[in-house]
A and B are shown apart, each in its own frame.
Chain A
Amino acid sequence: QLQLQESGPGLVKASETLSLTCTVSGDSISSSSYYWGWIRQPPGKGLEWIGSIHYSGSTYYNPSLKSRLTISVDTSKNQFSLKLSSVTAADTAIYYCARIGMIVVVIGYWGQGTLVTVSS
C-alpha cells in the first residue's frame, strides 16, 4: 500500500530556508505514470499547490513561489524534497506531499502532513 511521509523541522526562522523531505513507500518514485508534489495549507485556511516533479527531473512550480522554490528527487532513496527560501510568517502551514496522476492530473494519495511554523 502506498504511503507518503513528510519529514523535516517543524520550526524555521524567518528569512531562512524551509526544507522538507517526502519518503515514498509501497511504490517506486521512478514510475513514469506519476508526478510527485507538494501542497500546503495555512492553519484554518484552504489548499495551495506548491509544485510538482517527475522522476525524470522535470519540475513545475507555482508562479507565486517560483523564485524561492526548489523541488528535487532522489530515486535511490525513493524520496523527493522541497526547499523554500527566505520564508516569512506567511509560509507557516501544514505541508503535504502527494502523488499526482499524469493522465488524470489529480492528487490520489497524500501524506499525513507536517506543520511548519515560521518564527520571527
Chain B
Amino acid sequence: EIVLTQSPATLSLSPGERATLSCRASQSVSTYLAWYQQIPGQAPRLLIYDASYRATGIPARFSGSGSGTDFTLTISSLEPEDFAVYYCQQRSNWPALTFGGGTKVEIK
C-alpha cells in the first residue's frame, strides 16, 4: 500500500501570503498525484491532476509540482476563499486510490 504523508498538518497564514503544502509518498508514484480542496461542509474539489495540471476553472494562483515521492502544492497569494483543507491523492497503483491525511490552511 502506498502511504501519502502531508505536511504540515496546519498552516497558519494571512491573506496575500504564499502557501506551500507538501505531500510525500512512501514509494514512487511517478506524476500520478492529484490535489483537492475541501471547504468545511462541502465535498472536495479537484484542483490539480498529474502533479502539475490545473483542473478546469481552477485559478492560476494554484500550482503543483514534483515527481516520484515528493510533491508540492503552492498557492501564490492566498485569497479568503482559499482557507480550507487540502488533500493529495495518488493513482499510481490503480485500481487502488489513496489519500493523504490533509493540510489545513487557516487564517493567522
Tell me which residues from 36 to 79 in chain B have a Cβ below 8 Å from any Cβ of chain A. 36, 42-46, 49-50, 55
Q: Which residues of A contact B87 (CB under 8 A)?
A: 46-47
Which residue of the partner chain A has the closest CB to B92?
A: A105
Q: Which residues of A contact B46 (CB under 8 A)?
A: 106-108
Q: Which residues of B contact A100 (CB under 8 A)?
A: 97
Q: Which residues of B contact A48 (CB under 8 A)?
A: 99
Interface membership of B15, Cβ < 8 A: no
Interface size band for A: 10 to 19
Q: How many residues of B contact A (CB 8 A)?
A: 24
CB distance from B94 to the nearest CB of A (A): 5
Q: Which residues of B contact A107 (CB under 8 A)?
A: 34, 36, 44, 46, 89
Interface membership of A15, Cβ < 8 A: no
Interface membership of A52, Cβ < 8 A: yes
Interface membership of A25, Cβ < 8 A: no
| Contact across chains for B43 and A46 when beta carbons are under 8 A apart | no
State in angstroms the CA–CA spacing of A63 and B96 once bound together. 8
In order of increasing CB-CB distance, the 6 nearest A-B pairs are A60-B95, A110-B43, A105-B91, A49-B97, A47-B99, A106-B34
